[in-house]
Amino acid sequence: QVHLVESGGGLVQAGGSLRLSCAASGISFSRYAMGWFRQAPGKEREFVAGITRSSRSTYYADSVKGRFTISRDNAKNTVYLQMNSLKPEDTAVYYCAASVYNARVDGRDYNYWGQGTQVTVSS
């Protein structure tokens, strides 16, 4: 049974930082590209960041480029999202997801999803 479990969300002031983690089990983690998505109230889910299986490539939504960094540790079956210079518009539920395809930004290309972790940025 596949589980993706996010952690690290919370309430932070604008300009602050958070580090999200996503621990995977039940899959051969190194065979999956990983991504982070978010969904704000009343809005559609959107791609945030992705990383290929070997960490060779990372890719970001324009809205977070230069502020967020995705990384992974295949030995720990964990993917991370370091979020700096947070803005109120970053407030959302953040989800990690696993894909058998590399370098995808469409959520429909992801096979497994976590339950999400809330990030709230106050102004």
Kindly give, in sequence order, each residue whose CB lies less than 8 Å from that of residue 68, ignoring residues fewer than 6 positions away.
48, 49, 60, 81, 82, 83, 84
Look at residues 98, 123, 120 and name the one whose alpha carbon lies nearest to residue 41. 120
Rounded Cα gap, residues 117 and 94, in angstroms: 5
pLDDT tens, N- to C-terminus, the chain (123 residues): 999 999 999 999 999 999 999 999 999 999 999 999 999 999 999 999 999 999 999 999 999 999 999 999 999 999 999 999 999 999 999 999 999 998 899 999 999 999 999 999 999
**Whose structure tokens read 């395809």?**
101
Rounded Cα gap, residues 121 and 64, in angstroms: 14
Rounded Cα gap, residues 104 and 47, in angstroms: 9
Task: Identify the helix (H) or strand (E) that includes residue 57.
Answer: none
* Token output for 75: 């030995």
